[in-house]
Amino acid sequence: MAPVADRQGYWGSPTSTLDWCEENYVVSFYIAEFWNTVSNLIMIIPPILGALQTSKNGLEIRYVWAYLGLAAVGVGSWSFHMTLQYEMQLLDELPMIYSCCVFVYCIYECFKQKNGINYFLIALLLLFSIIVTVVYLQWKEPVFHQVMYGMLVACLVFRCVFIVTWVYPWLRALCYTSLTVFLLGFVLWNIDNIFCDSLRATRQSLPPVVGAVTQLHAWWHILTGLGSYLHILLSLQIRSTYLKYRPKVKFVCGIWPMLHIESQKTS
């Protein structure tokens, strides 16, 4: 009998340059990595709702694009893990770069006049995205993509820490929660890569539902999706505070945070 990891499914043999630790086609014949796929829902549904709320609040369109960029990553990641096809891998990885560029623009332009546009920064980020895309299409090395993405994340972290340290210290809790959740996801992602054989062996001795908890790449999706969502929320709160609005975080169903604008300028 072939090892469980070698099962064949609807999408055929993987063509992607990466095949993660979750055993292929175990849960569903139509989904290569079931848990790695469905865990992307946190990167799809909440950001779409966030984009709708941001539009309703009348805030700048770039924040709507930030939410939709995160949702695009979720859709791409869903497609990649469902099929393990190279084209779908690109649909996952390249939007990570593009959406993070939108995040960078938002957080670095948070202290500018309303509806102002920094064409130089847009051009710089666009050039960066084009270079990364062209190089990655020619040089199919996942580490290159990971390093480029890490550089963008580092820019976000430095900027956010500066703002909550020197400008709006009352936002430290939100900033550090976002950062901690994201870093925890990164730690689990590395554990999943390094200890894959041990994790797979452990799953064989556990009931399926319990074994699903050991799908650490799925936890990476959940935690980084939540961390990214909280980052956008932080960016929105910084911006709306600077514009002298009255931003307030409310919890939908008592659990999920969304930003509401109580009123427009007070002075």
Binding residue positions: 19-20, 22, 24, 33, 81, 217, 221
Binding-site residue ranges for Zn(2+):
81, 217, 221
- Closest Cα to residue 224, out of 178, 193, 176? 178
Distance CA 95, CA 101 (A): 10
Q: If you write DSSP's letter for every residue of 15-82 in order, what string do you get?
A: -SS---SSPTTSSBTTBSSHHHHHGGGGGTHHHHHHHHHHHHHT--HHHHHHHHHHHHHHHHHHHHHH
The SS3 assignment for 181 reads helix
- Closest Cα to residue 178, out of 236, 106, 223, 227? 227
Binding-site residue ranges for Ca(2+):
19-20, 22, 24, 33
E-strand ranges in the chain read 247-252, 256-261
Angle between helix 172-194 and 196-204 (nearest 10): 80
